[in-house]
Amino acid sequence: MSATSTFQKINNFLARYPLLPLIFIYLLHTLFTLHTRSLWFSDEVRYANVYEHLVQHQKWLVLYLNGVPYPDKPPLYFWFLHLLSQLTTLKGPLLFFLGSAISGFLYLLATYFLGKVVLQDPKRVFIGCALLLTNFYFLGLIHYFRMDLLFATFILVAHIFLFVYLEKEKIPFLYLGFFCSFLALLTKGPLGFAFPLLTFLFYALLTKKKNLLLNKHLGFALLGVLGLAGLWLVGAYLVEGKDFIHNILYDQIYRRATNTWHHPQPFYHYFLVFPLVVLPWSLLFLFPRQLKLFQLSKGEKFLLTFFFSGFTLLSLISIKIAVYLLPLFAPFFLFCSRFFISSKMAIRKPLGFFFLLLAIILPWINYFPVIDVTLQGLPLLSLMFLVLAIILLKKNFTPYQSLIFLLLTLPFIFIFTATKVAPSLDPLMSPKNQALVIKKYIQQGYTPLAYKIYSGIYTYYAGKNIKETKEIEEVKKQLQENPHTILIMPEKYYQKYEDVLKGLKIVHKQKIVEQDYLLLVRG
């Protein structure tokens, strides 16, 4: 059977049942890769402890981390995890990774239905979803414990409802859209409300539907979102008081947006980062003429409005983290499906050279001075990419055939990566080993004290809240008052205060990501 006839049969099946193979491919990526590694620094171990507080100490309205209020995030994602736990009886890391896998699946479904509603072209919808399922960043994120996938899913569903309202002016869809934006807000914060609102405003102006901007129902919908958010803030105020609300409104929202202390980047940051996070499909930028930015449909205009308004918003705010781009993946990949309809671009060659480059680099990673662990499975992973590269360079695939080829082969590469390569990163990426040493000392009667660490990174695996301080005088005081103290400290601070800490001996050292951490007790 020729390759052409094989692809034709696959194409016919996809035309009839476009969602089924997408679900199958997604299941391949996730069913065999749940809980293959420890929880990693910094978010995973911290969120695990936040969930522990929610369940064990009934912290349902205001989240807690390491025994103190945690204003950084709203609670909805952790409610979702608890519901999932009740339905499955799962606990611990397996529950957390399952939550990410289900969130990723919901994001895939939201992308599919967004495409179905705005493009009304089953093949292009399938292509857009296939681009998502062959994007390295997305495939990595579905194996990482964060709330961003669920957050972005609510944003996508909000856009689906709002597009229907903008085109058909059926009022219930307006309220449904902004209610979903509230769910996004309650999952991660105000960007969940800002993305849909900006798309709505700019698309209404673009399509000259200014009457929809003056509609009383828009005002009611916006007031509804603000009112629901206000109810949560009132509840948080009653539980934690004025200072907590000030932290949320000023530090977590205003300062992060205008002059953040956390991941500040220049306005052009995402112009550099976006091509990296959409790999390998940033290679499409090599064929700008294939975009054909003329005779755009209403749906394509909506997708571009969604993308550019969101991208501009993210570029203007002070804090910039790659994962914030996640809501824009769906409109980007759905729009990029244009490349694969009757296109003669030779995308297989850049893809082939890209995978060839990966195959050349991977065997040497363990020799890089910045890598302090030995990664397992790199020669075999390199061989897999080499095979992909050779096939793409040798076979005369069309762009669509190249996409289908990757859709069918990448699951096996990512299964291998998740089960063999990723676990070998644990000594570098997870504080588990050091936390278990702390736990052992706690069981022997020692009191833990941490100096200038990233808050909450040890608590989950140590099984106990750990007192944290940024004052060296407080460290000296506790060491004098309680000889049975185990001090947790980055090595750079130990070197700075070594004279002050005389009499302490190092009982454990671990490099976590970029920094060495020490455990010290009296000798």
What's the CA gap between 450 and 486, in Å, rounded? Answer: 8
- Same domain? 411 vs 493: no
- Same domain? 402 vs 514: no
Is 8 inside any structural domain?
A: no
- Same domain? 310 vs 355: no
- Same domain? 394 vs 438: no
What's the CA gap between 128 and 292, in Å, rounded? Answer: 17
CA–chain centroid gap for 265, Å, is 18
- Same domain? 438 vs 364: no
Is 504 inside any structural domain?
A: yes
Closest CA to 330 of 152, 186, 181: 152
Write the CA distances from 463 to 413, 428, 448, 483, integer angstroms.
35, 21, 12, 22
3-state secondary structure (DSSP) of residue 34:
coil
- Same domain? 395 vs 492: no
Beta-strand relationship, 447-451 and 467-469: parallel
Which of 312, 340, 368 delimits the end of a domain? Answer: 340
Q: pLDDT tens per residue, the chain (523 residues)?
A: 566 666 677 767 776 788 999 999 999 999 999 999 999 999 999 999 999 999 999 999 999 999 999 999 999 999 999 999 999 999 999 999 999 999 999 999 999 999 999 999 999 999 999 999 999 999 999 999 999 999 999 999 999 999 999 999 999 999 999 999 999 999 999 999 999 999 999 999 999 998 999 999 999 999 999 999 999 999 999 999 999 999 999 999 999 999 888 889 999 999 999 999 999 999 999 887 776 777 889 999 999 999 999 999 999 999 999 999 999 999 999 999 988 886 677 899 999 999 999 999 999 999 988 788 999 999 999 999 999 999 999 999 999 999 999 999 999 999 999 999 999 999 999 999 999 999 999 999 999 999 999 999 999 999 999 999 999 999 999 999 999 999 999 999 999 999 989 999 999 999 999 999 999 999 7
| 110 token code pair | 């939201």
- Same domain? 179 vs 307: yes
DSSP 452: S
Report yes or no: 468 and 440 within 8 Å, Cβ to Cβ.
no
- Same domain? 437 vs 401: no
Is 507 inside any structural domain?
A: yes
Provide the 10 A C-beta neighbour count for residue 242.
Answer: 8
- Same domain? 56 vs 122: yes
Return the pLDDT at 2.
60
Return the pLDDT at 4.
64
Q: How many secondary structure helices (H) and strands (E) does the chain include?
A: 25, 7
Is 4 inside any structural domain?
A: no
| 12 token code pair | 């016919």
Q: Global pTM?
A: 0.96
- Same domain? 414 vs 311: no
Is 3 inside any structural domain?
A: no
Which of 384, 410, 428 delimits the end of a domain? Answer: 428
Write the CA distances from 96 to 90, 91, 366, integer angstroms.
9, 8, 29
Contacts 24+ apart (CB under 8 A), 315-318: 315/267, 315/268, 315/269, 315/270, 315/271, 316/267, 317/256, 317/257, 317/258, 318/255, 318/256, 318/257, 318/258, 318/259, 318/260, 318/264, 318/265
- Same domain? 388 vs 319: no
Is 39 inside any structural domain?
A: yes
Report yes or no: 267 and 315 within 8 Å, Cβ to Cβ.
yes
Which of 393, 409, 428 delimits the end of a domain? Answer: 428
Is 495 inside any structural domain?
A: yes
Structural domain for 497, as ranges? 431-522
Is 111 inside any structural domain?
A: yes
What's the CA gap between 180 and 272, in Å, rounded? Answer: 30
Beta-strand relationship, 447-451 and 68-69: unpaired
For the chain, what is the domain count?
3
Report yes or no: 30 and 101 within 8 Å, Cβ to Cβ.
yes
Return the pLDDT at 344.
73
What's the CA gap between 202 and 255, in Å, rounded? Answer: 26
Return the pLDDT at 7.
65
What's the CA gap between 232 and 228, in Å, rounded? Answer: 7
- Same domain? 417 vs 481: no
